[in-house]
């Protein structure tokens, strides 16, 4: 099969087209003929050598795919050969075939193309597990999304807004701030010209926001603490601004604040399977009813994976960057 491999840590040019043996599914796994794969920030970190695959995972990049089930351990899954699915994988998505745990597969939502379906798993699993499970965003509560036009941001804005929450989002330009609002954010905040903490307090009548989805870290942390409501929660999913920040423990104690975080890739199949079921129950009906939608910025042929990575690193996109595999 054709695949894209990382020849050595480095810039986008280290991505090369190669030929590998098709993977063989084991117990509880299925083999998927890949039609499309998503490009995500962790793929870039893996290419740079700062995010190694978990033990036993493919060394090929790619964490989400959509395609056709070819074969595998299908007993009790409800799937059969020929079914079209999208799947979260630990690696190997930049290829014509990939192995996925059957419990991490979801049917392609009715009315969506395979490219659109392939854009869903990484961001939807991440947002649901962090915003709704870990941070427990509840009825009547508000959400501030850092990086609102990223794949994660676009998903978080749409899901939270569709489920009735007030949503605010940061972005790096006026155009991107307005794009956040078109996706459902009550207010897009241009962090280059506005202090998101001040704006968030103003928008909430000085009460602050209940949950912050943070993919920046670093010096954002003290500003986020200041704009949290009492009993508020910050959930950190990436550290684009650095791994160290200042935490006002006095506020944490007095106002019962929670600072937490997680990474999805190393979690167990059982953990991801539980998220898959929640998505099928709560998010898939919204997708099929067109109340939320995939946002595809650009698609590239598989052999142009390096171009896709350059676009990801430019941060000029709004939504997902995709690879067309077959």
With a pLDDT cut of 90, the percent of the chain lying above it is: 98
**Are 255 and 135 members of one domain?**
yes
Phi-psi region of 147 (alpha: psi -120 to 50; beta: other; left: phi over 0): left
Distance CA 50, CA 263 (A): 14
Q: Are 15 and 6 in contact (CB under 8 A)?
A: yes
Q: What percent of the chain stands above pLDDT 70?
A: 100
Domain match, 179 and 242 both: yes
Pairing status of strand 29-39 against strand 105-107: unpaired
What is the domain count for the chain?
2
Last residue in a domain, options 244, 261, 278: 261
- One domain, residues 167 and 212: yes
**How far, in Å, CA of 97 to CA of 245, rounded?**
41
pLDDT class of 326 with cuts at 50, 70, 90 = confident
Q: Which of 216, 239, 261 is the last residue of a domain?
A: 261
pLDDT of the residue at 297: 97
Q: Which residues pair with 293 in a beta bridge?
A: none
Same domain, 116 and 136: no
Do 272 and 197 share a structural domain? no
Handedness of CA 109, 316, 61, 259 (dihedral sign): negative
**What pLDDT digit, counting tens, does each position of 263-280 carry?**
999 999 999 999 999 999
Q: Are residues 193 and 254 in the same domain?
A: yes
pLDDT for 64 equals 98
Q: What is the rounded distance in angstroms from the CA atom of residue 31 to the CA atom of residue 25?
A: 6
* Residues in contact with 293: Cβ distance below 8 Å, sequence separation at least 6, in sequence order: 116, 158, 287
Q: Is residue 189 domain-shared with residue 275, that is, in the same domain?
A: no
Residues 131 and 256 in one domain: yes
In this structure, are 160 and 202 located in the same domain?
yes
Tens of pLDDT along 213-259? 999 999 999 999 999 999 999 999 999 899 999 999 999 999 999 99
Note down the domain range covering 285.
2-120+265-324
Tell me the two tokens of residue 92. 């190997």
187-190 β-sheet, strand order: 187-190, 166-171, 142-145, 209-214, 228-236, 258-261
- Read off the CATH number of the domain in which 213 is found: 3.40.50.720
Q: Which of 261, 290, 316 is the last residue of a domain?
A: 261
Q: pTM value?
A: 0.96
Nearest to 319 by CA among 293, 300, 283: 293
Q: pLDDT averaged over the chain?
A: 97
Whether residue 25 sits in one domain with residue 99: yes
């Amino acid at each position: 099969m054709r695949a894209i491999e990382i020849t050595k840590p480095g810039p986008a040019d280290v991505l090369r087209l190669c030929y590998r043996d098709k993977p063989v599914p084991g117990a509880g796994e299925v083999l998927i003929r890949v039609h499309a794969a998503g490009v995500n920030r962790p793929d870039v970190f893996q290419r740079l050598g700062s995010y190694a695959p978990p033990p036993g995972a493919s060394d090929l990049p790619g964490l989400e795919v959509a395609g056709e089930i070819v074969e595998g351990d299908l007993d009790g899954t409800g799937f059969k050969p020929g079914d079209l699915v999208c799947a979260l994988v630990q690696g190997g998505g930049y290829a014509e075939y990939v192995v996925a745990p059957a419990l991490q597969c979801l049917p392609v939502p009715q009315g969506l193309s395979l490219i659109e379906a392939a854009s869903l798993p990484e961001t939807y699993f991440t947002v649901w597990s962090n915003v709704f499970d870990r941070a427990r965003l509840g009825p009547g509560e508000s959400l501030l999304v850092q990086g609102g036009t990223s794949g994660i941001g676009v998903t978080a804005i749409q899901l939270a807004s569709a489920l009735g929450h007030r949503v605010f989002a940061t972005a790096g330009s006026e155009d991107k701030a307005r794009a956040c609002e078109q996706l459902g954010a009550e207010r897009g905040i241009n962090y280059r010209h506005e202090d998101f903490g001040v704006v968030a307090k103003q928008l909430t009548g000085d009460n602050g926001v209940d949950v912050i989805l943070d993919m920046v870290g670093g010096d954002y942390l003290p500003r986020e603490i200041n704009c949290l409501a009492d009993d508020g929660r910050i959930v950190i999913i990436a550290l684009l601004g650095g791994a160290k920040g200042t935490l006002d423990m006095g506020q944490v104690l007095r106002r019962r604040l929670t600072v937490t975080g997680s990474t999805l890739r190393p979690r167990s199949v059982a953990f991801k399977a539980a998220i898959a079921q929640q998505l099928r129950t709560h998010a898939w009906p919204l997708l099929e009813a067109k109340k939320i939608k995939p946002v595809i910025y650009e698609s590239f042929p598989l052999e142009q994976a390096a171009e896709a990575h350059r676009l990801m690193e430019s941060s000029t996109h709004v939504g997902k960057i995709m690879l067309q595999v077959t």
